[in-house]
A and B are shown apart, each in its own frame.
Chain A
Amino acid sequence: MTAQDTGIGSCPAEIIRVEDLVHVFGNGTRALDGVSFSVNEGEFILVAGRNGSGKTVLMQHLNGLLRPTSGRVFYRGVPVERDTLAVRRRLGLVFQEAESQIVGETVAADIAFGPENLKLSREEIAVRVAEALGSCGLSALADARPSELSGGERRRLAIAGVLAMRAETIVLDEPFANLDFPSVVMVLRELVALKAAGKTILVLTHEIEKLAAHATRIIIMSEGRIVRDATPEDALTEGLEAYGLRNPFKPRLSLGDLSWLT
């Protein structure tokens, strides 16, 4: 047996494995309909799909917030439901609705919430909070009230909360929703820096064009299924419109081409 066969040395370690995941809600909605994929360490995956395609429901399965109707989810080879707390310490979620995921009275107190759950010492927490504040450009706002922050700052606060836990995997749901151009750029920079730091990242969004250049892989979902799973070059080809997505390669040479209606 060579190293290639055993997977040791040659392939990076598998972090997430989802097997034939089905989720049916109480009202009969089949939000996930047999989803299977796996994620390796260090990947930067863009999970795209129109509204209602099942992205957010899929995210909630990755750390055991939702339980599968059928199918299984593994984190580092261990079923997520076996030790959800351990998974949540290593995989951070950033929800779409930034304001309701804030639990602290000040920016710094909110960032400290995660490390407090890891039962770190106060000194260690202070170090991590300062670090997360710095890398998300929030140092000047440490004592600010989260309700006073702008949309972009709130989003960065949510990311900082995950960073302070030193999560190895970060999943972000629609991180660009409601952000203006400079805020999009800041969040994007942060994501690229995280990728460079070796984190495994999944971004769920319908805004392919903002991230396609940085992703290592694109998964496209439609009606609760994975319809494409390939490198960005191979995924962004003909027929994206059928899945409710706009092809970012569509030529834009004249003003008329800028119309989203063509």
Chain B
Amino acid sequence: MAHLTPFVYRPGSGFLHALDPRARFLAFALLSAACFLLGTIGNCLFIAAILVLGRLSGLSAKDSVRGILPLIPVIVVVILFQGVSIGILFCLKLCSIALLTALFMSTTSVTDIRNVVSWGSRPFSPIRALDLDLLVALLFSWLPIIFERSERVRAAQSARCIERRNPLRRAAVFTRVLLASLLRSAGTTASALESRAYCRDRTLPVFTWGLSESIALGASLAVLSAALVFP
């Protein structure tokens, strides 16, 4: 289910995928800021640009647009209460942000996030940095396990007709069983990490900042400046 949303990483070999993740993070931050500043026409151009970028990096426009669909109720409410002109601008900004985020998320893997976290926290404490990035990675790889487990525990409890009981008690039993199962697995994960010779002195991620990274950053800066000058 989760992998059907446009906000989930898709492996690919487009130019956005190949970009140094640090450049992608910076560009994302700059462009998000620009989104908030841009006016109606600016946002229309922005959306068009994002769709083209998505296309270039091998993502279908249909997928990108799907990211906007959940926003429709919000947009309707805003137009109803704020009037059409404010409503339309708000709606455009929301769409820009949603599309930009979808583009960023679908080209940025957890490994990228992990590498940037480890790079970003390196100056502060070289020892802590590696633990922090492992934490990020584990958190993400554990989410599916948590979902799967909750579903399994819920199914097992329904099979034993537990819903007839009082809901509070049911929630308590559910939580206890789920936590016990997750803690046991967390123990295995810790043992597995240790068994694979986990140590802090490990291979560091390599970053390659080249021409395309500089261009991406320069372009994002240009968009932000344009947004500042012609709002």
Distance, CA A85 to CA B195, complexed state (A): 9
B82, CB-defined interface residue at 8 Å = no
- Return B218 CB to nearest CB of chain A, in Å: 27
A100 CA to B187 CA, complexed, in Å: 9
Stretch in A25-33, A101-109, A176-184 touching the partner? A101-109
- Cα distance A167–B205 when bound, in Å? 23
| B200, closest chain A residue (CB) | A117
Q: A99-B145, A100-B185 are in contact. Are A85 and B197 (CB under 8 A)?
A: yes
| With A100-B185, A114-B196: A105-B140 Cβ-Cβ less than 8 Å | yes
Task: Say yes or no: A122-B203 contact (C-beta < 8 A), given A99-B185, A105-B109, A145-B144.
Answer: yes
Q: Which residues of B contact A162 (CB under 8 A)?
A: 196
Q: Which of chain A's residues have a CB closer than 8 A to the CB of B141?
A: 102-105, 146-147
Q: Is the CB of B111 within 8 A of A106?
A: yes
| A165 is an interface residue with CB less than 8 A from chain B | yes
Within 8 A of A (CB), among B185-206: 185-186, 188-189, 191-199, 201-203, 206
The yes or no answer to B110 lying at the interface (CB within 8 A) is: yes
Are B199's CB and A147's CB within 8 A? no
B197 touches A165 (CB 8 A): yes
The interface on chain B, measured as residues whose beta carbon lies within 8 A of the other chain's beta carbons, has a size of 31
- A118 interface contact, C-beta 8 A: yes
Chain B 199-228, CB-CB to A under 8 Å as 1, else 0, gives 101110010000000000000000000000
List 8 contacting pairs A-B, 8 Å CB cutoff, sorted by A: A85-B197, A103-B137, A116-B202, A118-B197, A145-B144, A147-B141, A147-B145, A162-B196
Known A105-B140, A106-B11, A148-B3; 17 more pairs at CB < 8 Å: A60-B191, A88-B197, A89-B197, A95-B191, A97-B188, A100-B186, A100-B188, A103-B137, A103-B189, A104-B137, A105-B110, A117-B197, A117-B203, A147-B144, A162-B196, A165-B196, A165-B197
Nearest first, the 8 A-B pairs at minimum CB distance are A101-B192, A147-B144, A100-B185, A143-B11, A105-B110, A88-B197, A100-B188, A116-B203
